[in-house]
Amino acid sequence: MDTDILIIGGGPSGIITALTARHCYPDKVVTLVRREKFVVIPCAIPYIFGTLRDVEKDRIPDDVLRKAGINLVIDEVKDVDLESKRAQLVGGDEVSFDKLVLAVGSKPALPPIEGINLRNVFHVVKDPEHLVKMKKELDKAEKVVIVGGGFIGVEFADDLSRAGKKVTIVEMLPHVLSLSFDTEFGLMAEEELKRLGVELRTGVKVRRLLGEDFVNEVELESGEVIDADVVILATGAKPNTDLAERMGLQVSRYGIEVDEYMRTSHPDVFAVGDCAAKTDFFTRKKKFAMLASVATAEARIAGWNLYGIKALRKMRGTLGIFATKVGDLYLGVAGLTESIARVEGFDYVVGESTVPDKHPGTMPGTHKIRTKLLFTRVGGFFLGGQIAGGPTVGEIINLVGFAIESGYSAAEYVNLQIGTHPYLTPPPTTPATLTAAQDALTKIYGRK
């Protein structure tokens, strides 16, 4: 089989690369190879087990590729010869290509815990067959222990507790969501989890998993033993660099090394998504950021630059903008948290506000929105933001992310014209993020 552009990997980054390449280079043949029969939406995996109740309901339709004229091959690439530009498939076929994009994702970062290979111990992967098996056991389970209190672990706990399971989260850090939010936001999440009936064990590690064949207990380093029918390992992921290493590409613990145009160490090979190394927007240090929003942004950049560099189409650094939900609490973050800014030595000012998300505050369904924004002390430029409140948080944090990427200062931001509506937004007199930005300006310049 011959193709102009070969994309290995069928997740969001692979799909968006294919669609972008097809749009930008309509005369080129685009082929996507993936091993999964169908592709799940990664961000919705925690909601398969309680809300959606079916793995099939969490899928990206293949029609989006076929309607664009993209060749879809269900197989696995076992090796790539860069000299001859040929990919060898497990099924025996070969694919010759001109340009290659690696969108091979990540794999679980499994902790060295005794008993990890017992039955009914599941890690979180994007493989539909694995998720079907996982759902079958979770449907029967009464007691579930989740190892890891990051956003995946918290979202699993949220959904499973609503489905009537007795859920316990074990997190070795002092609070849940500690790697993503400042402590006060983690505490809000913990209070909401407790309201849902989720048990929390923070600041403690798992010593081992116990059972004959199936797991039935989780022993903590504190000595406590917790009953478990199923254990979910939500302990993070690491870039899948196996194929890239065999190809001789430059890789690190952060992933396949790429430039701002998503090119690897080989000029005709690009990498996008979880498998590609990330550079922090502010510190310029390497970082992990395994988010579909980041992956698809990289995919659009790679797709545009396959045949000639477009100077304005480049990755300027990874912000890490995302939102999550815990019970009735919604949380969003963009850019630096205060804890990271402090460690990195930034001279910053915090602007804060708490306002209703509807107006007047007596409107049905009103939530309080708590906003925390970080600005440089000199010049008042955006460094980051965190928001807690109701369902509007997802879009508000995207506005903060836009302001950061656009280089807004607090003074410019407070002059934004923002549309309002009683059911949809805070009052025009106290828009959430503008009010927090004004608070920061007062701290920087006084009340003059």
| Other Cβ atoms within 10 Å of 323 Cβ, number | 20
Position 399 scores a pLDDT of: 95
Would the pLDDT of 127 be above 80?
Answer: yes
pTM score? 0.94
Q: What is the 3-state secondary structure (H, E, C) of 385-424?
A: EEEEECCCHHHHHHHHHHHHHCCCEHHHHCCCCCCCCCCC
Residues recognised as catalytic: 43
Contact yes or no for 188/330 (Cβ under 8 A):
no
Nearest Cα to 413, choosing from 388, 396, 390, 393? Answer: 396
End-to-end alpha carbon distance in the chain: 70
Residue 232, beta-bridge partner list: 122, 146
Distance CA 204, CA 207 (A): 9
Helix%, strand%, coil% for the chain, nearest 5: 30, 30, 40
Instruction: Report the pLDDT averaged over residues 274-281.
Output: 97
The answer to whether the bond into 360 is cis (omega within 30° of 0) is yes
Domains delineated in the chain = 5-106+238-305 (3.50.50.60), 121-235 (3.50.50.60), 328-445 (3.30.390.30)
Q: DSSP per residue over 371-382, as a string?
A: EEEEEETTT-BE
Position 447 scores a pLDDT of: 67
Q: Which amino acid is at 230?
A: V
Residues 193-230: pLDDT tens digits? 999 999 999 999 999 999 999 999 999 999 999 999 99
Instruction: Report the pLDDT averaged over residues 314-318.
Output: 92
Would the pLDDT of 392 be above 60?
Answer: yes
Would the pLDDT of 420 be above 60?
Answer: yes
Position 310 scores a pLDDT of: 82
Position 448 scores a pLDDT of: 57
Contact yes or no for 326/158 (Cβ under 8 A):
yes
Contact yes or no for 385/331 (Cβ under 8 A):
no
Would the pLDDT of 317 be above 90?
Answer: yes
